[in-house]
Amino acid sequence: MMRFIPPRLRKPAAIALAGVLFAAAWLVRGGPLWWISILAVIMAAARAVYLYRMGGQDTDEGALAGSRADERQKLLSLRSRALACNLAVIAAFIGLTAAIAVKGAWWWPFLVILGVAGFGYLLGLSNYGVAEEGTPDEVDAGHQARSPVSS
Amino acid sequence: MAPEESRASLRASDADREQAIDVLKTAFARDRLARAEFGARVGQALVARTYADLAAATGSIPGPLIAGQPPGMSARVRQQRTRREMSHGELAQALGVSRQTVILIESGRYLPSLSLAFTIARFFGLTVDKMFGPDEEKTSPR
């Protein structure tokens, strides 16, 4: 679906969609705090506009916001997200430990975060290729390896 | 007369003048000379009659900057770019990367992937080995 959206609009659109979903959740919840949904929409719209404007800048941040990152900028983004995930896991672990210590009933969301993070890590290893068991090459099979350039 | 003085008064050959111009080109490619000064010095080297004249044309350029010496891998990108009189932005556009990435490659703060290295080398009409390989004089056995 993202292919049909111009690159510069992709991140702002994702932020706007997230904001709408969050606002809808507050509306469905109802009660006296329904006005938070309006606040969520306003904040998401402001963030989307900010990202759109940033996407036009000739900087690394602009390239990332405008979804036109090159290999170095993608690596930069990947490392930053990995750091963010590590920090989230550490925070979740601390939260879980604290919840257990004080006998709080709010321990399970931390466990869910840790579980999802662990599952995501294993999924990543699987998808992005931990060394696959292949057939033994010619040397292992007892044959002499031949260079492709040798006659 | 000291040997240096006697050599300075000797007549320079075309090959000597070309060698001096190569030194100036290398210095220009490494941003040691401004364009105007480069042009002036090349003109000076072209009309040089003696070694002293050539020494004056290449004066104040560091000694190790000899002609034909391959610069570091990151400097080679800069050298090729300046030789084609391209800006960072133009090269970035041609390679399909950002201007910041070109600047970081030239300053040696980012090593391109194999794929990008091939793209860069192909763009400049060189092999990856010549573009990004180690300096020959550092790797050759002494």
CA distance A62 to chain B (A): 11
Residues B78 and B52 occupy one common structural domain: no
Whether B127 is in a domain gets the answer yes
CATH code for the domain in which residue B85 is found = 1.10.260.40
pLDDT of residue B107: 86
Which residues span the domain enclosing B79? 73-135
Residues B16 and B48 occupy one common structural domain: yes
**Partners of B11 in beta bridges:** B50
Q: Is B100 within 8 Å of A69 when comparing Cβ atoms? A: no
Which residue of B98, B102, B118, B120 to mutate against A (max A Cβ within 10 Å)?
A: B98
pTM for this predicted structure? 0.63
CA distance B110 to chain A (A): 8
- Per-residue confidence in pLDDT tens, chain A, 151 aa: 667 899 999 999 999 999 999 999 999 998 999 999 999 999 999 999 999 999 999 999 999 999 999 999 999 999 999 999 999 999 999 999 999 999 999 999 999 999 999 999 999 998 887 766 666 655 555 555 454 444 3
ipTM, 2 dp: 0.73
| Cα B128 to chain centroid, rounded | 18
Whether B66 is in a domain gets the answer no
Residues B130 and B96 occupy one common structural domain: yes
Q: Give the residue from chain B lying closest to A72, CA to CA.
A: B101
Residues B18 and B54 occupy one common structural domain: yes
Q: Which residues of A touch B (CB under 8 A)?
A: 58-60, 63, 69-73
Number of domains chain B contains: 2
Residues of A in contact with B106 (CB under 8 A): none
Whether B37 is in a domain gets the answer yes
Q: Is A70 within 8 Å of B113 when comparing Cβ atoms? A: no
Residues of B in contact with A71 (CB under 8 A): 97, 101, 112-113, 115-116
Task: Report the alpha-carbon distance of residue A6 to residue B20 in Å, rounded.
Answer: 53
Q: Identify the H or E element spanning B57.
A: helix B51-57
Task: Report the alpha-carbon distance of residue B85 to residue B104 in Å, rounded.
Answer: 19
